[in-house]
Structure 1
């Protein structure tokens, strides 16, 4: 399994082309050789390709808005082909679909032709979970519905370890559940501050990383993307700590 930096972690530093260039160089200097593109401000696709090639980074995955996936898919496909990036991610389904089982099923109907067209163009749709997908609808959670009622030929997952735990589920078990349907996983840790859970650098919190990493290895996950939506220190330092800890774990 290869390690990448999910650049949503440093989104405050990627809002202009100049900031993006500076951030990519800093991430490379920390020790990452690959990134997931998310939370960027405007930048031409060709310019981004030039930057990552010059700096020596691979784009392993992205997060693309639901609106662009629905209404600008041809350009999304062209960008990913240019970047040599196969994994096309959606960070979360739009809010209007999240409040009921029927809403989740409607989302699956809406995204199905998008995922199919990506596959036809040798790209892969991946869905990134939060904790909201673990709301119960009768005897199933929303995540159960996504897994059981999506087309395994076109719809893959991007399990987020923190948000699985925050939803009251077991990250390692969910990595096993999506076997053969996940090439990219999000690694972030969880600690506690008083009564409240808090995001932490990988290895600095309470998640069971030996089990999580073994589950990923057993299921041939290709990319572990380090992400921390909220950092308690400089986010570049957080990325460095997570990378250092993962290497100490043998990755």
Structure 2
């Protein structure tokens, strides 16, 4: 049964100001796990103690591509100490998007990660859907170039949608290689640019996506809102959890 987590980037300012207190509020709202993007200078033992006390799982960590290239062993060791075995490449700058080089590096990073009993994932934005390699979206070219043994998929379904593709079709395409999805809603500004939104208030077909993810055996459905227009991220993640609980109450196989 899929579990629901939160990407803590959503509440990054709150985490920086009150690390433990923010995690406590996340747990109180009903999120079962958290995905880190930084640890704000805290040691692994402290983080593990807080997570254990609050009953939260560390489901993954977004770690900068360059940090993984330069300090992979240290990152794996830290994450294992907090109970996490999933490291995720979160974003590539335009300068880093030399795709043949990226694919080769991901193969090597994935191999080294696997040999230490951990998992490497890649998290997409829209540019992996709109840029191409050999006539295919980078998203597909990447996972053809790097084996499933060495690279798993963390699919941000909203960015797949915004990139012009059907997230449900992509979930089904990568089933069996897809431990985590990001569930995210969006509206658009006057120029058509994406504005991330609380679940249920935007244009994304969340129910179809969540149904497909559960059917594909996804382990974690992770809520993320890159920017909260109202300026109150804790209220935003509460609103998104209300959508999750309503969805679960209607019969979805979700652990909430």
Q: TM-score, normalised by structure 2?
A: 0.90
Task: State the match for 2:251 in structure 1.
Answer: none
Q: Distance in 2 between matches of 1:137 and 1:119?
A: 26
Q: Once structures 1 and 2 are overlaid, which stretch shifts more, 201-210 or 136-145?
A: 136-145
Matched, 1:140 2:136: yes
The 8 Å contact of residues 48 and 83 in structure 2, kept in 1 or not, is answered as: no
Q: Once structures 1 and 2 are overlaid, which stretch shifts more, 148-157 or 88-97?
A: 88-97
Task: State the match for 1:242 in structure 2.
Answer: 240
Task: State the match for 1:200 in structure 2.
Answer: 197
Structure 1 position 72, deviation (Å): 1.4
Q: Once structures 1 and 2 are overlaid, which stretch shifts more, 223-232 or 25-34?
A: 25-34
Matched, 1:182 2:205: no
Tell me the secondary structure at the aligned position of residue 113 of structure 2: helix
Which of 222, 225, 243 is the aligned partner of 2:222? 225
The 8 Å contact of residues 15 and 42 in structure 1, kept in 2 or not, is answered as: no
Deviant stretches of 4+, over 6 Å: none
Q: Distance in 1 between matches of 2:218 and 2:155?
A: 11
The 8 Å contact of residues 198 and 237 in structure 2, kept in 1 or not, is answered as: yes
Q: Distance in 2 between matches of 1:128 and 1:163?
A: 10
| Aligned length in residues | 245
The 8 Å contact of residues 165 and 171 in structure 1, kept in 2 or not, is answered as: yes
Q: Distance in 2 between matches of 1:156 and 1:45?
A: 24
Task: State the match for 2:13 in structure 1.
Answer: 12
Q: Distance in 1 between matches of 2:224 and 2:24?
A: 18
Q: Distance in 2 between matches of 1:175 and 1:59?
A: 23
Q: Distance in 1 between matches of 2:222 and 2:207?
A: 16
Q: Unaligned regions of 5+ residues in structure 2, if any?
A: 249-253
What's the Cα RMSD here?
1.6
The 8 Å contact of residues 199 and 228 in structure 1, kept in 2 or not, is answered as: yes
Q: Distance in 1 between matches of 2:72 and 2:85?
A: 14
The 8 Å contact of residues 7 and 35 in structure 1, kept in 2 or not, is answered as: yes
Structure 1 position 137, deviation (Å): 4.3
Q: Distance in 2 between matches of 1:243 and 1:130?
A: 23
The 8 Å contact of residues 64 and 90 in structure 2, kept in 1 or not, is answered as: yes
Q: Distance in 2 between matches of 1:48 and 1:82?
A: 9
Q: Distance in 2 between matches of 1:29 and 1:218?
A: 27
Q: Unaligned regions of 5+ residues in structure 1, if any?
A: none
Q: Distance in 2 between matches of 1:7 and 1:40?
A: 10
Task: State the match for 2:34 in structure 1.
Answer: 35
Structure 1 position 175, deviation (Å): 1.2
Task: State the match for 1:129 in structure 2.
Answer: 124
Q: Distance in 1 between matches of 2:207 and 2:6?
A: 20
